[in-house]
Chains A and B, each alone.
Chain A
Amino acid sequence: MIPVCPTTALPPGEAIRVEADEPIAVFNVDGEFYAIDDTCTHQDASLADGWLDGCTVECPLHASCFDLRTGKVSGPPAKTPVRTHRVVVQDGMVHVQVEPAADGLA
């Protein structure tokens, strides 16, 4: 598990990028934490820079939306989903359990 930050450092509506083998974006949606691959499946954009709207994040570049719960993409230009990762909160710290690369989401 990768430690991310104290829960207090990631208030609702905010996102943080975590360096890992593949960078990961962690979001706080009204107190619920979600983690997905940070790099958009279309091109090289950081989804942590995107716009959070409910449980979806809009890519900051070309506006494909990804569902934080499933990783599914709503529409072009991205065609493939992002991986989702499990978030664990322990002792006031946010951690991410990184999924292995091929988790059969597609």
Chain B
Amino acid sequence: MSPTVAVVGASLAGLSAARALREQSYEGRIVVIGDEPHAPYDRPPLSKGFLAGTASLDDIALGAPDDEDLGLEWRLGTTAVGLDHVSRSVLLDDGTEIQADGVVLATGARARRLPGDQDLDGVHVLRSLDDAISLRADLVAAGRLVVIGAGFIGAEVASTARALGLEVTVVETQPVPLAGPLGTDMGAVCAELHGDHGTRLLTGTGVAGLVGTSRVEAVELTDGTRLPADVVVVGIGAIPNIDWLARSGVALGNGVLTDACGATNIPGVVAVGDCAAAWSAAAERHVRIEHWTSALEQPATAVATLLGTGGPAPTPVPYFWSDQYGARIQFAGSRRGGDVARVVEGSCADRSFLVVYERDGHPVAVLGMNQPRLFTRWRRQLRSAVPTPP
């Protein structure tokens, strides 16, 4: 019987793993298991063009015509519920199991929720295509939106809803939105986009609860304020989908723990994308990265590990982007507290700038707003500045 690789997860990371297997000359059977009924689609547009109604389902499909040639066996609408590491079988919720020689874990992450937020109509999270379809249906009929969480998803939803004509309030517990990824100064600059476009931003404010009987009517803040709302979006981060591996013997932390090349503690099992926490030599700990580009790039390395053809661990420069209120925000590199942000082009007031973060006088990260050309140059420069391990 020909060998089998089971890819658990049918989003960008899973599809990229399947493509990488064929690119790396694996000729055996590939079974791709996805808990959603949909063929792979791109998630970033769910808070932007797809939510706005300007991008169709076809536009966001990830499949390409050439994928037919990959000869993949799809098990969509099927959830993996367990992994037997001795027989290396993936157990599925329909009672069947897939016996595999190699397993790629790519189950992604799910939206974090607020306690009780599923009891009221009109309260949404945004992670999946179905989430986006139901949120859009609610938004086009609504007048007032409250977004809980001013991270990238929250900001993008707020921006899309403003363009649809809604009155929008964003509530953030932290004093400065995006201070984690961008630092306090630049987080504050990016957050000014809300005010520029008529979105009300309340920072340093916790949410006490949601008010309503069957449908949400308001969001109550910890200071007692009630924000009337027809629709509420909860955008407070994501949790890796690893619960199904609890008894599998695979080492888990804040994600499936892997080495820098995607290997887990179980031979023949690798993990990629949002569900994986890969060892980072630079950070000296396991880091779970939720960036689109990581889900695209990691699988090639992990698949090489699985096939036993792996080389040295790559040292990628993390990259993410966000489109809000017509502004294009791009970030690359690894920033941490104490790094100094310096504007090297444009100005924050003009909403067009390039900022370089420096540590001991060396550039370690770069942030651009509406500066794609210059940003690309700096991103490349950071890439070549990262020393490749011997």
Contacts and interface: CB of A to CB of B under 8 A. Distances in A.
A and B are interacting partners: yes
Interface of A: 43, 45-46, 48-51, 58, 60-63, 75-77, 79
Contact of B375 (A43, A60, A77): A60
| Across the A-B interface, the 10 shortest Cβ-Cβ residue pairs | A49-B373, A60-B372, A60-B376, A49-B372, A51-B376, A79-B64, A77-B42, A51-B380, A76-B62, A50-B376
Contacts of A58: 376
Most buried by A among B319, B328, B376, B377: B376
B318 to A, nearest CB: 13
Contacts of B191: none
Interface in B280-311: 292-293, 296
19 contacts: A43-B49, A45-B372, A46-B372, A48-B373, A49-B372, A49-B376, A51-B376, A51-B377, A60-B372, A60-B373, A60-B375, A61-B330, A62-B321, A63-B293, A63-B296, A76-B16, A76-B42, A77-B42, A79-B64
Contacts, number: 39
A104 B376 CA distance: 31
Given A51-B377, A51-B380, A76-B64, A61 B292 contact: no
Nearest to A79: B64
Contacts of A79: 61, 64-65
Nearest to B58: A79
Contacts of B49: 43
Most buried by A among B61, B292, B319, B373: B373
A50 B372 CA distance: 8
A103 B376 CA distance: 30
A49 B42 CA distance: 23
Given A49-B376, A79-B64, 12 more contacts: A46-B373, A49-B373, A51-B377, A60-B373, A61-B321, A61-B328, A62-B292, A62-B293, A62-B321, A63-B319, A76-B16, A76-B62
A80 to B, nearest CB: 9
A45 B380 CA distance: 18
A76 B12 contact: yes
Contacts of B376: 49-51, 58, 60
A92 to B, nearest CB: 26
Contacts of B380: 51
Contacts of A50: 376
A12 B113 CA distance: 52
A4 to B, nearest CB: 18
Nearest to B63: A79
A101 B113 CA distance: 47
A31 to B, nearest CB: 21
Nearest to A58: B376
Contacts of A46: 372-373
Nearest to A49: B373
A61 B371 CA distance: 10
A62 B319 CA distance: 9
A61 B372 contact: yes
A39 to B, nearest CB: 13
B375 to A, nearest CB: 7
B125 to A, nearest CB: 23
A62 B372 CA distance: 11
A48 B376 CA distance: 11
Nearest to A106: B65
Nearest to A75: B296
B331 to A, nearest CB: 13
Nearest to B293: A63
Nearest to B12: A76
Contacts of A60: 372-373, 375-376
Given A62-B292, A63-B293, A77 B372 contact: no
A87 B88 CA distance: 56
Interface string B56-71: 0000011011000000
Contacts of B319: 63
